[in-house]
């Protein structure tokens, strides 16, 4: 495994359609919106998901600090971000699972357990997961109308396309876009939102 495959936090609550992890805010890379992560389902199984929300929680001390007239000292900010308990929540939409190394883009048969460690997927894992089958996992990103579907798909495609291009598969991005168009062919409004977000993101990658 590469050094990008690291634990990002521990599970707070879960279901078969998604889960939420808590982690401290520290000065190091954290999974971004649209990133692929995984949680254990046992010694040989995992559930995979895409990050769709990152929330910074407040508490009484933070409310007091932001309402003061005086500047907040840097040491107080650092202490709040590093030493205080679980100020960040990462919400994940489940998109598939693996059993004894075999990938499936169907929902997992059970939910991960609380306090299990959540891992950022390595580029190698991203390539393996996103190249299984015919993009079946994308339908999970389209099912929740409460999510910013266009932005979420664009962010995920950008990150997955980068991993696939590094692995010698630059055509993955085109194949993914074609599959998204096929999935949304009967929903013109959402299709236009998705294509607009994809265009904004991918043009910046040129």
pLDDT in tens, 147-178: 999 999 999 999 999 999 999 999 999 999 99
Distances (CA, A) of 32 to 8, 58, 160: 11, 20, 12
| Confidence band for 85, pLDDT divided at 50, 70 and 90 | low
pLDDT over 50 at 133, yes or no: yes
As given in the structure block, the two tokens for residue 82 are 């590093």
The answer to whether 36 touches 80, Cβ cutoff 8 Å, is no
Provide the percentage of residues in the chain whose pLDDT is more than 90. 61
| Distance, CA of 159 to CA of 193 (rounded, Å) | 19
CA distance 81 to 114: 23
pLDDT of residue 1: 41
CA–chain centroid gap for 106, Å, is 17
Contact assessment for residue 149 and residue 193, using Cβ atoms and an 8 Å cutoff: yes
Q: Is the pTM of this model over 0.85?
A: yes
3-state secondary structure of 88: strand
CB atoms within 10 A of CB 168: 9
CA–CA dist 174, 179 (Å, integer): 9
**How does the average pLDDT of the chain come out, rounded?**
87
pLDDT beyond 70 at 34: yes
Distance CA 138, CA 166 (A): 21
β partners of residue 53: 91
State the Cα–Cα distance between residues 153 and 130, nearest whole angstrom.
Answer: 13
d(CA 141, CA 55): 19
pLDDT for residue 72: 78
Q: What is the mean pLDDT of residues 191-200?
A: 89
Closest CA to 23 of 70, 67, 88, 77: 88
Rounded Cα distance between 115 and 117, Å, is 6
Tens digit of pLDDT for each residue in 45-68?
A: 999 999 999 988 777 777 777 777
Q: What pLDDT does residue 39 have?
A: 95
Q: How many CB atoms lie within 10 A of CB 4?
A: 16
């Amino acid at each position: 495994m590469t050094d990008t495959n690291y634990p990002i936090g521990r599970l707070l609550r879960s279901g078969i359609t998604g889960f939420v992890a808590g982690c401290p805010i520290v000065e190091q890379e954290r999974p971004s919106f649209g990133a692929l992560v995984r949680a254990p389902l046992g010694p040989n199984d995992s559930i995979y998901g895409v990050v769709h929300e990152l929330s910074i929680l407040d508490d009484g001390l933070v409310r007091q600090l932001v309402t003061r007239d005086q500047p907040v000292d840097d040491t107080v900010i650092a202490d709040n971000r590093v030493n205080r308990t679980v100020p960040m929540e990462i919400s994940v939409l489940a998109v598939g699972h693996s059993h004894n190394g075999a990938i499936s883009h169907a929902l997992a048969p059970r939910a991960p357990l609380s306090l299990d460690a959540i891992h950022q997927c390595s580029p190698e894992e991203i390539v393996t997961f996103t190249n299984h089958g015919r993009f079946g996992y994308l339908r999970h990103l389209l099912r929740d109308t409460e999510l910013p579907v266009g932005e979420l798909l664009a962010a995920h495609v950008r990150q997955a396309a980068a991993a696939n291009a590094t692995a010698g598969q630059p055509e993955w991005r085109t194949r993914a876009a074609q599959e998204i168009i096929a999935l949304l062919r009967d929903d013109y409004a959402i299709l236009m939102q998705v294509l607009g977000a994809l265009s904004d993101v991918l043009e910046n990658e040129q």
